[in-house]
Structure 1
Amino acid sequence: MTIEDDSVAGATIELLEARLRRLTYLLSGDTTWTGVPIAPPKPASLDDSISRRVLRLERDLEKLSKNIPAVRDVLNLHDRFPDLFRPTPPRTLPENLTTENLASIVLSYASAFPETASRLTSLNDLPIPDAQTSAALIELQPRMDQLAQMQDGQTKEIADLRIRTARVLQRWNPRKVTSVK
Protein backbone atom coordinates (compact mmCIF):
# COMPACT_ATOMS: atom_id res chain seq x y z
CA MET A 1 0.00 0.00 0.00
CA THR A 2 1.13 3.50 -0.72
CA ILE A 3 0.96 6.47 1.63
CA GLU A 4 -2.06 7.80 -0.24
CA ASP A 5 -3.91 4.48 0.15
CA ASP A 6 -3.06 4.45 3.86
CA SER A 7 -4.45 7.95 4.35
CA VAL A 8 -7.64 7.08 2.45
CA ALA A 9 -8.07 3.92 4.54
CA GLY A 10 -7.43 5.86 7.75
CA ALA A 11 -9.95 8.56 6.79
CA THR A 12 -12.51 5.89 5.91
CA ILE A 13 -12.04 4.19 9.28
CA GLU A 14 -12.38 7.54 11.07
CA LEU A 15 -15.62 8.27 9.21
CA LEU A 16 -16.98 4.82 10.06
CA GLU A 17 -16.06 5.32 13.72
CA ALA A 18 -17.85 8.69 13.72
CA ARG A 19 -20.96 7.07 12.23
CA LEU A 20 -20.78 4.31 14.82
CA ARG A 21 -20.57 6.89 17.61
CA ARG A 22 -23.61 8.72 16.21
CA LEU A 23 -25.58 5.47 15.98
CA THR A 24 -24.56 4.56 19.51
CA TYR A 25 -25.76 7.93 20.74
CA LEU A 26 -29.05 7.53 18.86
CA LEU A 27 -29.60 4.12 20.44
CA SER A 28 -28.57 4.93 23.99
CA GLY A 29 -28.77 8.70 24.31
CA ASP A 30 -26.02 8.61 26.94
CA THR A 31 -22.66 10.31 26.69
CA THR A 32 -19.65 10.79 28.89
CA TRP A 33 -18.72 14.28 30.08
CA THR A 34 -16.51 14.61 27.00
CA GLY A 35 -19.43 13.93 24.66
CA VAL A 36 -18.37 10.42 23.66
CA PRO A 37 -21.45 8.18 23.47
CA ILE A 38 -21.72 5.35 25.99
CA ALA A 39 -22.45 2.00 24.40
CA PRO A 40 -25.85 0.61 25.35
CA PRO A 41 -25.79 -2.33 27.73
CA LYS A 42 -26.31 -5.77 26.27
CA PRO A 43 -29.89 -6.98 26.62
CA ALA A 44 -30.52 -9.26 29.57
CA SER A 45 -32.99 -11.34 27.57
CA LEU A 46 -34.28 -11.72 24.05
CA ASP A 47 -37.28 -9.53 24.93
CA ASP A 48 -34.95 -6.60 25.60
CA SER A 49 -33.42 -6.67 22.12
CA ILE A 50 -33.99 -3.67 19.87
CA SER A 51 -36.12 -5.55 17.37
CA ARG A 52 -38.44 -6.82 20.12
CA ARG A 53 -38.66 -3.33 21.63
CA VAL A 54 -39.59 -1.89 18.23
CA LEU A 55 -42.26 -4.55 17.79
CA ARG A 56 -43.59 -3.74 21.27
CA LEU A 57 -43.70 -0.04 20.39
CA GLU A 58 -45.57 -0.79 17.17
CA ARG A 59 -48.13 -2.88 19.07
CA ASP A 60 -48.58 -0.11 21.63
CA LEU A 61 -49.04 2.45 18.86
CA GLU A 62 -51.65 0.23 17.25
CA LYS A 63 -53.51 -0.03 20.59
CA LEU A 64 -53.35 3.74 21.00
CA SER A 65 -54.70 4.31 17.51
CA LYS A 66 -57.65 2.03 18.26
CA ASN A 67 -58.49 3.80 21.53
CA ILE A 68 -57.61 7.45 20.87
CA PRO A 69 -59.03 9.21 17.80
CA ALA A 70 -56.29 11.89 17.79
CA VAL A 71 -53.57 9.25 17.32
CA ARG A 72 -55.62 7.62 14.58
CA ASP A 73 -55.96 11.02 12.85
CA VAL A 74 -52.20 11.63 12.98
CA LEU A 75 -51.52 8.18 11.53
CA ASN A 76 -54.07 8.82 8.76
CA LEU A 77 -52.37 12.14 8.04
CA HIS A 78 -49.05 10.32 7.84
CA ASP A 79 -50.52 7.79 5.41
CA ARG A 80 -52.13 10.43 3.18
CA PHE A 81 -49.40 13.09 3.33
CA PRO A 82 -46.06 11.44 4.16
CA ASP A 83 -44.19 14.54 2.95
CA LEU A 84 -45.42 16.44 6.01
CA PHE A 85 -43.37 14.21 8.27
CA ARG A 86 -40.12 14.29 6.31
CA PRO A 87 -37.51 16.86 7.21
CA THR A 88 -36.94 19.50 4.61
CA PRO A 89 -33.65 19.10 2.77
CA PRO A 90 -31.01 21.68 3.65
CA ARG A 91 -30.71 24.46 1.12
CA THR A 92 -27.41 25.34 -0.42
CA LEU A 93 -26.14 28.89 -0.26
CA PRO A 94 -26.44 30.91 -3.44
CA GLU A 95 -23.05 31.04 -5.09
CA ASN A 96 -23.42 34.56 -6.43
CA LEU A 97 -23.56 36.22 -2.97
CA THR A 98 -20.42 37.66 -1.49
CA THR A 99 -19.44 37.31 2.15
CA GLU A 100 -20.50 40.91 2.77
CA ASN A 101 -23.96 40.22 1.31
CA LEU A 102 -24.37 37.11 3.45
CA ALA A 103 -23.22 39.04 6.54
CA SER A 104 -25.75 41.80 5.87
CA ILE A 105 -28.53 39.22 5.53
CA VAL A 106 -27.58 37.59 8.83
CA LEU A 107 -27.22 40.96 10.59
CA SER A 108 -30.64 42.08 9.37
CA TYR A 109 -32.18 39.27 11.43
CA ALA A 110 -29.94 39.84 14.46
CA SER A 111 -32.67 41.68 16.38
CA ALA A 112 -34.92 38.61 16.12
CA PHE A 113 -32.45 36.30 17.88
CA PRO A 114 -32.95 37.59 21.46
CA GLU A 115 -36.73 37.66 21.01
CA THR A 116 -36.77 34.12 19.67
CA ALA A 117 -34.47 32.93 22.46
CA SER A 118 -36.75 34.58 25.02
CA ARG A 119 -39.84 32.93 23.56
CA LEU A 120 -38.14 29.54 23.48
CA THR A 121 -37.06 29.89 27.13
CA SER A 122 -40.58 30.89 28.11
CA LEU A 123 -41.82 27.62 26.62
CA ASN A 124 -39.93 25.79 29.37
CA ASP A 125 -42.00 27.65 31.97
CA LEU A 126 -45.32 26.58 30.48
CA PRO A 127 -46.89 23.54 32.12
CA ILE A 128 -47.65 20.63 29.85
CA PRO A 129 -51.37 19.85 30.01
CA ASP A 130 -52.51 16.41 31.05
CA ALA A 131 -52.89 14.10 28.05
CA GLN A 132 -56.25 12.75 29.22
CA THR A 133 -57.67 16.26 29.57
CA SER A 134 -56.42 17.20 26.11
CA ALA A 135 -57.88 14.02 24.62
CA ALA A 136 -61.22 14.73 26.33
CA LEU A 137 -61.26 18.23 24.84
CA ILE A 138 -60.45 16.88 21.40
CA GLU A 139 -63.31 14.41 21.68
CA LEU A 140 -65.67 17.30 22.52
CA GLN A 141 -64.77 19.24 19.35
CA PRO A 142 -67.59 17.84 17.13
CA ARG A 143 -70.16 18.67 19.82
CA MET A 144 -68.73 22.19 20.21
CA ASP A 145 -68.93 22.70 16.42
CA GLN A 146 -72.56 21.59 16.48
CA LEU A 147 -73.32 24.00 19.34
CA ALA A 148 -71.61 26.84 17.47
CA GLN A 149 -73.83 26.18 14.43
CA MET A 150 -76.88 26.15 16.69
CA GLN A 151 -75.79 29.46 18.24
CA ASP A 152 -75.36 31.02 14.79
CA GLY A 153 -78.87 29.91 13.86
CA GLN A 154 -80.27 31.37 17.08
CA THR A 155 -78.46 34.67 16.45
CA LYS A 156 -80.01 34.92 12.98
CA GLU A 157 -83.43 34.05 14.38
CA ILE A 158 -83.13 36.72 17.10
CA ALA A 159 -82.12 39.33 14.51
CA ASP A 160 -85.15 38.37 12.40
CA LEU A 161 -87.44 38.59 15.45
CA ARG A 162 -86.09 42.07 16.26
CA ILE A 163 -86.87 43.28 12.76
CA ARG A 164 -90.35 41.78 12.84
CA THR A 165 -91.01 43.31 16.29
CA ALA A 166 -89.91 46.75 15.07
CA ARG A 167 -92.24 46.49 12.05
CA VAL A 168 -95.17 45.46 14.24
CA LEU A 169 -94.50 48.37 16.59
CA GLN A 170 -94.26 50.72 13.62
CA ARG A 171 -97.64 49.56 12.32
CA TRP A 172 -99.20 49.81 15.77
CA ASN A 173 -97.86 53.28 16.55
CA PRO A 174 -96.15 54.91 13.54
CA ARG A 175 -95.16 58.07 15.45
CA LYS A 176 -93.05 56.43 18.17
CA VAL A 177 -90.88 54.10 16.05
CA THR A 178 -88.90 56.05 13.45
CA SER A 179 -86.46 53.56 11.99
CA VAL A 180 -86.29 49.85 11.37
CA LYS A 181 -82.91 48.13 11.37
Structure 2
Amino acid sequence: MTVESDTVAGATIELLEARLRRLSYLLTGNSDWIGVPSTPTKPTSHEETISRRLASLEKELQKLNKSVPAVRDIIQLHDQNQDLFHPTPPETIPEGLTPETLSAIVLSYASAFPETASRLTSLNDLPIPDAQSSAALIELQPGLDRAAQKQAEQAAQISELRIRTARVLQRWYEVGLVGSGECWAEWEGRLEGVEREVRRREVFKERRENEI
Protein backbone atom coordinates (compact mmCIF):
# COMPACT_ATOMS: atom_id res chain seq x y z
CA MET A 1 0.00 0.00 0.00
CA THR A 2 1.13 3.54 -0.72
CA VAL A 3 1.46 6.28 1.86
CA GLU A 4 -1.71 7.97 0.58
CA SER A 5 -3.68 4.74 0.90
CA ASP A 6 -2.40 4.26 4.45
CA THR A 7 -3.46 7.82 5.32
CA VAL A 8 -6.95 7.31 3.87
CA ALA A 9 -7.31 4.00 5.68
CA GLY A 10 -6.19 5.50 8.99
CA ALA A 11 -8.59 8.44 8.61
CA THR A 12 -11.43 6.05 7.79
CA ILE A 13 -10.70 3.95 10.86
CA GLU A 14 -10.61 7.06 13.05
CA LEU A 15 -13.98 8.20 11.69
CA LEU A 16 -15.47 4.75 12.31
CA GLU A 17 -14.08 4.75 15.87
CA ALA A 18 -15.54 8.22 16.48
CA ARG A 19 -18.95 7.08 15.24
CA LEU A 20 -18.71 3.96 17.39
CA ARG A 21 -17.90 6.05 20.48
CA ARG A 22 -20.83 8.34 19.68
CA LEU A 23 -23.18 5.37 19.36
CA SER A 24 -21.84 3.98 22.63
CA TYR A 25 -22.58 7.27 24.38
CA LEU A 26 -26.08 7.39 22.87
CA LEU A 27 -26.74 3.87 24.10
CA THR A 28 -25.24 4.16 27.59
CA GLY A 29 -25.19 7.90 28.34
CA ASN A 30 -22.07 7.35 30.48
CA SER A 31 -18.44 8.35 30.03
CA ASP A 32 -15.26 8.40 32.10
CA TRP A 33 -13.54 11.48 33.53
CA ILE A 34 -11.78 12.28 30.22
CA GLY A 35 -15.00 12.05 28.18
CA VAL A 36 -14.51 8.61 26.61
CA PRO A 37 -17.92 6.85 26.38
CA SER A 38 -18.35 3.73 28.46
CA THR A 39 -18.65 0.38 26.70
CA PRO A 40 -22.23 -0.88 26.66
CA THR A 41 -22.79 -3.74 29.06
CA LYS A 42 -23.73 -7.13 27.69
CA PRO A 43 -27.50 -7.75 27.87
CA THR A 44 -28.49 -10.22 30.54
CA SER A 45 -31.33 -11.56 28.40
CA HIS A 46 -32.60 -11.50 24.84
CA GLU A 47 -35.31 -9.02 25.79
CA GLU A 48 -32.70 -6.38 26.74
CA THR A 49 -30.99 -6.30 23.36
CA ILE A 50 -31.22 -3.17 21.24
CA SER A 51 -33.35 -4.81 18.57
CA ARG A 52 -35.86 -6.11 21.10
CA ARG A 53 -36.03 -2.75 22.86
CA LEU A 54 -36.64 -0.98 19.54
CA ALA A 55 -39.33 -3.50 18.67
CA SER A 56 -40.93 -2.91 22.08
CA LEU A 57 -40.91 0.83 21.49
CA GLU A 58 -42.53 0.35 18.11
CA LYS A 59 -45.27 -1.77 19.68
CA GLU A 60 -45.87 0.89 22.34
CA LEU A 61 -46.04 3.55 19.64
CA GLN A 62 -48.58 1.47 17.71
CA LYS A 63 -50.68 1.13 20.87
CA LEU A 64 -50.57 4.88 21.39
CA ASN A 65 -51.47 5.41 17.75
CA LYS A 66 -54.59 3.31 18.21
CA SER A 67 -55.64 4.67 21.60
CA VAL A 68 -54.59 8.36 21.56
CA PRO A 69 -56.00 10.52 18.74
CA ALA A 70 -53.33 13.22 19.22
CA VAL A 71 -50.51 10.74 18.58
CA ARG A 72 -52.32 9.44 15.51
CA ASP A 73 -52.68 12.98 14.16
CA ILE A 74 -48.99 13.73 14.73
CA ILE A 75 -47.90 10.54 12.94
CA GLN A 76 -50.24 11.32 10.06
CA LEU A 77 -48.92 14.88 9.88
CA HIS A 78 -45.36 13.57 9.81
CA ASP A 79 -46.16 11.15 7.00
CA GLN A 80 -47.91 13.77 4.88
CA ASN A 81 -45.52 16.71 5.54
CA GLN A 82 -42.06 15.36 6.18
CA ASP A 83 -40.49 18.66 5.07
CA LEU A 84 -41.85 20.31 8.23
CA PHE A 85 -39.74 18.00 10.38
CA HIS A 86 -36.67 18.33 8.15
CA PRO A 87 -36.48 22.04 7.24
CA THR A 88 -34.36 23.16 4.33
CA PRO A 89 -31.21 25.14 5.24
CA PRO A 90 -31.68 28.87 4.57
CA GLU A 91 -28.69 29.02 2.22
CA THR A 92 -30.22 26.52 -0.21
CA ILE A 93 -33.23 27.19 -2.43
CA PRO A 94 -35.91 24.52 -2.07
CA GLU A 95 -36.50 22.48 -5.18
CA GLY A 96 -39.87 22.35 -6.84
CA LEU A 97 -40.81 26.02 -6.32
CA THR A 98 -42.56 27.62 -9.26
CA PRO A 99 -41.59 31.07 -10.59
CA GLU A 100 -44.82 32.44 -9.19
CA THR A 101 -43.92 31.21 -5.70
CA LEU A 102 -40.40 32.65 -5.93
CA SER A 103 -41.78 36.01 -7.14
CA ALA A 104 -44.25 36.05 -4.25
CA ILE A 105 -41.41 35.45 -1.79
CA VAL A 106 -39.37 38.29 -3.33
CA LEU A 107 -42.33 40.67 -3.44
CA SER A 108 -43.05 40.02 0.24
CA TYR A 109 -39.79 41.83 1.01
CA ALA A 110 -40.41 44.61 -1.53
CA SER A 111 -41.28 47.14 1.18
CA ALA A 112 -37.85 46.75 2.74
CA PHE A 113 -36.01 47.81 -0.43
CA PRO A 114 -37.05 51.51 -0.41
CA GLU A 115 -36.38 51.76 3.29
CA THR A 116 -32.87 50.35 2.87
CA ALA A 117 -32.25 52.67 -0.09
CA SER A 118 -33.39 55.72 1.89
CA ARG A 119 -31.09 54.81 4.77
CA LEU A 120 -28.13 54.45 2.41
CA THR A 121 -29.01 57.81 0.83
CA SER A 122 -29.22 59.46 4.26
CA LEU A 123 -25.63 58.37 4.90
CA ASN A 124 -24.54 60.46 1.92
CA ASP A 125 -26.46 63.46 3.27
CA LEU A 126 -24.70 63.40 6.63
CA PRO A 127 -22.21 66.29 6.91
CA ILE A 128 -18.56 65.48 7.36
CA PRO A 129 -17.18 66.90 10.64
CA ASP A 130 -14.75 69.77 10.42
CA ALA A 131 -11.12 68.65 10.36
CA GLN A 132 -10.08 71.23 12.97
CA SER A 133 -12.83 70.09 15.36
CA SER A 134 -11.81 66.47 14.92
CA ALA A 135 -8.16 67.36 15.52
CA ALA A 136 -9.10 69.31 18.65
CA LEU A 137 -11.04 66.34 19.98
CA ILE A 138 -8.09 64.06 19.24
CA GLU A 139 -5.77 66.42 21.13
CA LEU A 140 -8.10 66.27 24.15
CA GLN A 141 -7.88 62.48 24.33
CA PRO A 142 -4.55 62.30 26.25
CA GLY A 143 -5.89 64.76 28.82
CA LEU A 144 -9.06 62.71 29.18
CA ASP A 145 -6.98 59.57 29.67
CA ARG A 146 -4.92 61.28 32.40
CA ALA A 147 -8.10 62.54 34.07
CA ALA A 148 -9.58 59.03 34.00
CA GLN A 149 -6.38 57.63 35.50
CA LYS A 150 -6.40 60.33 38.20
CA GLN A 151 -10.04 59.54 38.95
CA ALA A 152 -9.20 55.85 39.31
CA GLU A 153 -6.33 56.71 41.70
CA GLN A 154 -8.61 58.94 43.77
CA ALA A 155 -11.23 56.20 43.91
CA ALA A 156 -8.58 53.78 45.19
CA GLN A 157 -7.44 56.30 47.84
CA ILE A 158 -11.03 56.88 48.94
CA SER A 159 -11.57 53.15 49.24
CA GLU A 160 -8.40 52.83 51.36
CA LEU A 161 -9.52 55.75 53.58
CA ARG A 162 -12.89 54.08 54.11
CA ILE A 163 -11.17 50.89 55.21
CA ARG A 164 -8.89 52.78 57.61
CA THR A 165 -11.86 54.74 58.99
CA ALA A 166 -13.74 51.51 59.61
CA ARG A 167 -10.72 50.10 61.45
CA VAL A 168 -10.39 53.26 63.59
CA LEU A 169 -14.08 53.12 64.50
CA GLN A 170 -13.75 49.46 65.39
CA ARG A 171 -10.72 50.21 67.58
CA TRP A 172 -12.51 53.12 69.28
CA TYR A 173 -15.53 50.96 69.95
CA GLU A 174 -13.42 48.13 71.40
CA VAL A 175 -11.16 50.38 73.51
CA GLY A 176 -13.28 53.50 74.16
CA LEU A 177 -16.68 51.98 74.77
CA VAL A 178 -16.20 48.33 75.65
CA GLY A 179 -12.94 48.99 77.53
CA SER A 180 -14.40 51.91 79.47
CA GLY A 181 -17.43 49.87 80.40
CA GLU A 182 -15.24 47.07 81.72
CA CYS A 183 -13.14 49.63 83.66
CA TRP A 184 -16.24 51.20 85.26
CA ALA A 185 -17.55 47.78 86.14
CA GLU A 186 -14.26 46.93 87.86
CA TRP A 187 -14.24 50.22 89.79
CA GLU A 188 -17.83 49.69 90.87
CA GLY A 189 -16.94 46.24 92.13
CA ARG A 190 -14.04 47.65 94.14
CA LEU A 191 -16.23 50.38 95.64
CA GLU A 192 -18.79 47.81 96.71
CA GLY A 193 -16.04 45.80 98.39
CA VAL A 194 -14.74 48.90 100.23
CA GLU A 195 -18.27 49.80 101.35
CA ARG A 196 -18.83 46.33 102.77
CA GLU A 197 -15.51 46.50 104.64
CA VAL A 198 -16.35 49.94 106.07
CA ARG A 199 -19.80 48.75 107.20
CA ARG A 200 -18.30 45.63 108.76
CA ARG A 201 -15.82 47.70 110.76
CA GLU A 202 -18.56 50.15 111.86
CA VAL A 203 -20.70 47.27 113.10
CA PHE A 204 -17.72 45.77 114.91
CA LYS A 205 -16.93 49.15 116.50
CA GLU A 206 -20.55 49.62 117.69
CA ARG A 207 -20.52 46.18 119.30
CA ARG A 208 -17.30 46.97 121.16
CA GLU A 209 -18.73 50.22 122.39
CA ASN A 210 -21.93 48.55 123.59
CA GLU A 211 -19.97 45.90 125.45
CA ILE A 212 -17.99 48.55 127.27
Query: TM-score, normalized by length of structure 2?
Result: 0.39
User: Comparing both structures, which one devotes a greater share of its residues to helix?
Assistant: 2
* Structure having greater relative contact order (Cα 8 Å, sep ≥ 6): 1
User: Higher Cα Rg: structure 1 or 2?
Assistant: 2
TM superposition score normalised by structure 1: 0.45
